[in-house]
Amino acid sequence: MKRRLEEPSETETRISFVDSGGHLSYRGVNIHDMAKHSIYEETIYLLLYGKLPTKTQLLEMRNKLSARRRLPAGVVALISSLPHFAAPMDVLRTAISAMAMFDPNEKDNRIETLLERGIGQIAQATTIVTTHNHLRNSRLPIEPDPEMGHAESFLYMLKGREPEAWETKALDLCLVLHADHGLNASTFAARVTASARADMYAALTTAVGTLKGTIHGGANQKVMEMLLEIKEERMVNRYIDEAFREGRKIPGFGHRIYKVEDPRVVYLRNVSRDACERTGHAYLFDLSRKVEDTVRSEKGLLPNMDFYSATIYYALGFPVDTLTTVFACSRMAGWVAHIIEQCELDSLIRPMGDYVGLLNQPYVAVEDR
């Protein structure tokens, strides 16, 4: 199936809208409504199918995710063969790439197949992250529980116990809020790969590799490392002043698009406060507030969503080096939707470079240089 949009362009999309004034919507539904009313399974459906699901469709989505969480034994064996010090984002990238070889229909790029494959990949990403975390600690991975929703199952596989209701709710909200964000770097990278008619696994691998970057999704890990390094509120001014003096960027601040506060931050700040208080990490929230106030007053920079999601994931029990994989597990929904949209457009993304180099240079023989 091939759909042509009117006057297709490399950057045309109908999936999410972001603007500098702090507006974000998924398929036209405002992020504030999504934050207040949606759950991740519903968000996946909305992003993939372009409309909110009926009760039956929502249940079907939940069931499909539950049924597809297990990993092929070969992928588990691959993960267990990786060095114990491997970075979780590298493991996620490698495992998703390997998934292609366990899919006998890898080259089938029909939209119906892509949707089913994409749902499977969204489901399995959480299992890859938690399986790796257990294996690297010499523990047996926790099998997914098919009765659980996506956020609940993610926490269950991480911790090996049923999560409390507030934990599931906190993670679910984070998954909803991180699910898509226009043509950000990793999404655009995924679309470039898909535009060349490569398979979905290749495009997702590209996306995970790009998200790892420390000024993109990798920023949440950097935020957590920064907070743990600062340790105490009284050290904040010194740390921030030094960073500014040395021209270092403060992770979790600034944004390429938003010129006002990121609309997701208000929710994440509240969840961070609650999660930190409930888990005995209230000092981390207080420290975050102090960093926010200091960076805001000294440079006028506002926090982005990586700033408060870092402490939420940490309070929920995710190890510091896995924080970006949690972001990736949520963004899988957006990536899959964008990859499918790009496949429907079926148009190669090939920007013209703005060449600013030399022209008409003589070729000098090697012995004369």
Site residues (CB under 6 A) for ligand COA? 215, 219, 249-256, 299, 301, 304, 306
Q: How far is the CB of 141 from ligand COA (least distance, A)?
A: 31
Tokens of 304: 């982005």
Q: Please confirm, yes or no, whether 172 is among the known catalytic residues.
A: no
- For residues 150 and 255, which CB has a smaller minimum distance to ligand COA in the complex? 255
Among the listed residues 216, 274, 281, 321, the single catalytic one is 216
- For residues 102 and 244, which CB has a smaller minimum distance to ligand COA in the complex? 244
Q: Which residues sit opposite 29 in a β-bridge?
A: 26
- For residues 130 and 324, which CB has a smaller minimum distance to ligand COA in the complex? 324
Residue (of 25, 67, 16, 66) closest to 335 by Cα position: 16
Task: Give the DSSP letter of residue 343.
Answer: H
Please check whether residue 335 is in contact with residue 192, taking contact to mean a CB–CB distance below 8 angstroms: no
Please check whether residue 181 is in contact with residue 18, taking contact to mean a CB–CB distance below 8 angstroms: yes
Tokens of 19: 């603007």
- Residue 152 phi, psi (nearest 5): -60, -45
- For residues 301 and 320, which CB has a smaller minimum distance to ligand COA in the complex? 301
- For residues 50 and 254, which CB has a smaller minimum distance to ligand COA in the complex? 254
Residue (of 118, 259, 277, 127) closest to 201 by Cα position: 118
Whole-number Å distance between alpha carbons of 45 and 31: 15
CA distances to 116, 198, 221 from 339, in Å: 13, 10, 26
Whole-number Å distance between alpha carbons of 149 and 175: 12
Q: How far is the CB of 300 from ligand COA (least distance, A)?
A: 9
Q: Please confirm, yes or no, whether 145 is among the known catalytic residues.
A: no
Q: Please confirm, yes or no, whether 354 is among the known catalytic residues.
A: no
Among the listed residues 172, 180, 262, 306, the single catalytic one is 306
Tokens of 163: 């999560």
Q: Which residues contact 361 (CB under 8 A, 6 or more apart)?
A: none
Known catalytic residues? 216, 255, 306
